[in-house]
Structure 1
């Protein structure tokens, strides 16, 4: 019975879909004519209190024929038959009101110039109001009928929209016209809106979310809050991340206004909104190291290197040299920069080469008259470098020495080394190799007369290759499990764009031999981060308390050379700089004179693949270096001899 009723209700919709737009207009015109006749009769009957007042219709019967014709002409000229009923909105209602007002004025004029009609003066006003209301109701009814059929035949997911402002209203309108989501209500912090209807949906307080999730079986919340502060946005995301719901957001107001994105272009809430730190807008006065200068970025295809290239390209350098050993990475960043709209007005040169090739480096620096070098070329994955120590030291330390020597010899104005928090009291070869690179740069500063060497030390950057966040996202998408090395491990995080901007600004602050530290905010528990990412994906954590959850978290154990937490300072002393997010380390390296001879010895040991000699040098030169040990204290560097199979990429579990 119900199925038969649904089929009957579907018949007008099926019939209407077969009609052309011209045919639909021919149907609307007589329909509106009937509404005009009915509205005129209702206005006269209401005014005179009788169903058929002969004193009017005996003389004005011709209005029932003429007024619909005049109305059709007015409605067509105003554009009443051009808008699509299923997308009827506020502007269309205004257009209907204009049409009704004009036609009521025509009726008033006819009554004014023909007194024999005995048409009461208030009749045109009543007529206009009745006609406008009838036309709006009929069209709204048809629109709602269409949407009812549309939703009944689809499997749209119910969603809540957080934000009942203008952006939320626009988002709901866009979702109503789409097929994926069905908005069932609003959440809004404004208590004055609670209980009211916005775009046909009731507004609720955020504290009601749990009841709404159950009532409507909601698994998605869409944020329509492009104008709120970063801190408030993070509070909301943290509040929502306590529940197993997928959270998506509309683009920022800048993206909407610029036309880069549209209101219905949803994206998953970024993990940066969980990390509890606010970015600081860049200080344009600190871009002097790149603006109008010849700049080279080593490791230009890497995570940090490529972002440095993007940021530098926007700062009007005279020319930009991309120096990279990986052909594919170099090709990718070159193509991207060439495609950036209006970002690169400078010359762009893509150069294949290794930072360990001192001759190639010097050739390129002299050829292009390089003034600033950002040295981002490095091997950074702790387990891989631990398993391949010679290549890690050759690239990270000896490659940095080549860059420093070429820069000093070619009188490059500024050279900035991209370092890491793992260089502080390192427990792994990667960190030790980067600390040695810092010492090499500080030693180079002592003998340089024209070049300013500086180093920038920071922690993990979100979304970089091999970092924990892309790994977690991949594991969650695959259905788990999510692997965390240790329940107590914590890390500092920063977005790649912010890190790159701060590196460029720190480079302009360098006075010679400086080690700059980027303010990474509060440390983040990796276990807590994993749980929040699972919940924000609309899934539940599977554990003892919730054995029926979706994604399990397993602990794989700390990898060789890995710490529970990282540090940015060797001796804990730092001083502020002009930029609130950049500090200057006061670490005082001891006896830099020994670095020259040590580097010769280190290079020889690497070329001979002498693990023991390399290990002894790292312990002697790098303060606080202590390799993980097993079997009676054998350093991890000694354990990972060439005979040991390198760690397979798919087995690497990131912790930061």
Structure 2
């Protein structure tokens, strides 16, 4: 299958007609320039020179026009930039012809060359402007033939710059359904002006009023180079309306002038656009140093975080990327995705197994001896773990110990545990087991000094399986009601790609038993999140979609914390990554277990005793191994 670049360069029948027109224009312009310069009486010597050189005009013209992209433009909705390109191309052709003719000693008057450039530019522009006018006329004709305007989608464009102009051009020339009705732009100098017949009627604050007055059905945010905060502010204003909201994806300001946007680029606004932050800048050299040409293993590789970590790792060209997961469906889909993207250049291995199964871990580690291990496998659902504490301990605590011990035994250089803000002052089984997993990791630093064990602690990730956002979307789509536990409950949020990139960066900073804490920004009220999602879905909160408050679930906290009161944060080289340096031994780990068991408050005494025994067994294993080594 040909790629997009090849397809774009291919000469189609339309392009061929334009090519013939353009190269013919070079000869016609040359004749006209001589005729005008000599006022109709051309010297014999000049005619002879032209007869000996005329064929250079179309040949050189075809080459220059092709290289400059004359035949790759969408002239039906060309802008000033394309017309300037035509004038520039004509100038390049003129200068080239002057040089060629001078070398061949076939000279013409220099004033004739200027006339040639001017006439050639006019001829080249004539066909293009005429075609653009004709296309616009045809659009208006089709628009009038539409049965009724009630079937059309009335569009408000946010942003009257280059991107907005291109969207309006496409709507004029390619759409009958969508009608650009008005533009809003924060530049007051543009107000009262028209862009291709579409008036600029105000700034972003006027969006709600204009939507109501003009019966707007759809808002398109066409400012692809705007920073995240600006986009979020516009979305929040647009959410106050009943219009559907769409937007162009982010394009760097440095690239915007060189990138053409199309209607196909427009996408739905998602909650990540409201809560996400500016793209994370990474210190690539540090990450590259510990991942490139290394064997890297990811447990829980099919999960939300594990799979994104794997995607990011693949970019750094590991010698082998090993995905280890107990659930085959998700990890299989990731395997197919990575194979399709990287092909044989990525040495990818997938193994099905549980982190509880020490023998299975031994098999994988013994064969592949991973240099770096990211441990993302865990039970994460708070209410479910309240009802299954024994399983939470086995998976989150024993599983972490099994992976850590095996990594140390087979000489892994680094192991990074994916932790959670629920491990801070935990009030539930899941948080308690993750806090213990952190402490086990730190204790293993003493047991295996050749392996750097660390943990990365962060809050909720947007869109992860089991998180509140997919639940809200499902409720809006299927139940037409949303349930929130408490009107004041707050959580920290981060996008999955941002969290995964920062995990990789934190791994490069690990030296000796750090707990890394990611900057999660400001906490978000879950109620505000629900309201925004309802608005983005085209409904009015409390009117179209009711919001019910159902009370806090077992083990759930009103507010999450990222570090303990007694912990002090230390800055790293990255502004969004901090460290909490600790050095845990088995005695402090035992004290922490007794404290956390009081927090868990399991109602069943027999089950409570069993969980306590499981926790103590983990500590005994570490103690025994330390005793045998020293």
Shorter-normalised TM range:
0.7 to 0.9
Decide whether aligned partners of structure 1 residues 140 and 161 sit closer, same or farther in structure 2, where only a CA change above 3 A counts.
closer
| Residue 162 (structure 2) aligned to one of 166, 183, 189 | 166
Matches within 5 A, 1:131-170: 141-150=137-146, 152=148, 155-170=151-166
**1:86–1:146 contact (8 Å) kept in structure 2:** no
Moved more, 485-494 or 221-230: 221-230
Deviation, 1:195, is 1.1
Distance in 1 between residues matched to 2:305 and 2:348, nearest whole Å: 18
**1:159–1:182 contact (8 Å) kept in structure 2:** yes
Q: Deviations over 1:133-174 (max 9, x none)?
A: 999877754542222214747712212110111111211232
SS in 2 for 1:169: helix
**2:304–2:464 contact (8 Å) kept in structure 1:** yes
Decide whether aligned partners of structure 1 residues 487 and 383 sit closer, same or farther in structure 2, where only a CA change above 3 A counts.
same
**1:251–1:263 contact (8 Å) kept in structure 2:** no
Q: Deviations over 1:596-624 (max 9, x none)?
A: xx6xxxxxxxxxxxxxxxxxx9860539x
Matches within 5 A, 1:523-542: 523-542=523-542
Moved more, 478-487 or 317-326: 478-487
**2:484–2:547 contact (8 Å) kept in structure 1:** yes
Distance in 1 between residues matched to 2:206 and 2:483, nearest whole Å: 34
Q: Deviations over 1:274-319 (max 9, x none)?
A: 2274443112123133122110000000000000010000111111
Matches within 5 A, 1:382-531: 382-478=382-478, 480-531=480-531
Decide whether aligned partners of structure 1 residues 139 and 269 sit closer, same or farther in structure 2, where only a CA change above 3 A counts.
closer
Distance in 1 between residues matched to 2:160 and 2:609, nearest whole Å: 61
Decide whether aligned partners of structure 1 residues 457 and 94 sit closer, same or farther in structure 2, where only a CA change above 3 A counts.
closer
Distance in 2 between residues matched to 1:437 and 1:136, nearest whole Å: 66
Alignment of 1:581 onto 2:576: yes
Alignment of 1:190 onto 2:191: no
Matches within 5 A, 1:174-573: 174-176=170-172, 177-205=174-202, 206-253=204-251, 262-275=262-275, 277-287=277-287, 288-341=289-342, 345-478=345-478, 480-542=480-542, 549-570=543-564, 571-573=566-568
Deviation, 1:640, is 13
**1:386–1:636 contact (8 Å) kept in structure 2:** no
SS in 1 for 2:553: coil
Distance in 2 between residues matched to 1:258 and 1:512, nearest whole Å: 47
Q: Deviations over 1:437-473 (max 9, x none)?
A: 1111111111212100000000000010011111112
Decide whether aligned partners of structure 1 residues 300 and 555 sit closer, same or farther in structure 2, where only a CA change above 3 A counts.
same
> Match for residue 60 of structure 2?
none
Decide whether aligned partners of structure 1 residues 572 and 447 sit closer, same or farther in structure 2, where only a CA change above 3 A counts.
closer
**2:139–2:176 contact (8 Å) kept in structure 1:** no
Distance in 2 between residues matched to 1:481 and 1:148, nearest whole Å: 41
> Match for residue 620 of structure 2?
none
The aligned length equals: 504
Decide whether aligned partners of structure 1 residues 410 and 259 sit closer, same or farther in structure 2, where only a CA change above 3 A counts.
farther
Distance in 2 between residues matched to 1:636 and 1:424, nearest whole Å: 27
Q: TM-score, normalised on structure 1?
A: 0.69
Distance in 2 between residues matched to 1:341 and 1:258, nearest whole Å: 28
Matches within 5 A, 1:53-68: none
Decide whether aligned partners of structure 1 residues 140 and 158 sit closer, same or farther in structure 2, where only a CA change above 3 A counts.
closer
Let me know the Cα RMSD of the aligned residues.
3.9
> Match for residue 648 of structure 1?
none
Give unmatched runs, 5+ long, in structure 1: 1-20, 26-77, 99-123, 543-548, 599-616, 642-656
Give unmatched runs, 5+ long, in structure 2: 1-12, 18-64, 66-70, 88-118, 612-630
Deviation, 1:390, is 1.4
Deviation, 1:594, is 6.3
**2:76–2:135 contact (8 Å) kept in structure 1:** no
SS in 2 for 1:474: helix
SS in 2 for 1:323: strand
Deviation, 1:507, is 0.9
Moved more, 246-255 or 286-295: 246-255
Deviation, 1:178, is 2.8
**1:569–1:587 contact (8 Å) kept in structure 2:** no
Alignment of 1:622 onto 2:596: yes
Distance in 2 between residues matched to 1:336 and 1:263, nearest whole Å: 26
Q: TM-score, normalised on structure 2?
A: 0.72
SS in 1 for 2:199: strand
Distance in 2 between residues matched to 1:270 and 1:640, nearest whole Å: 44
Decide whether aligned partners of structure 1 residues 460 and 179 sit closer, same or farther in structure 2, where only a CA change above 3 A counts.
farther
Distance in 1 between residues matched to 2:215 and 2:607, nearest whole Å: 54
Decide whether aligned partners of structure 1 residues 315 and 522 sit closer, same or farther in structure 2, where only a CA change above 3 A counts.
same
**2:225–2:250 contact (8 Å) kept in structure 1:** yes
Distance in 1 between residues matched to 2:357 and 2:340, nearest whole Å: 30
Distance in 1 between residues matched to 2:405 and 2:171, nearest whole Å: 60
Distance in 1 between residues matched to 2:219 and 2:268, nearest whole Å: 10
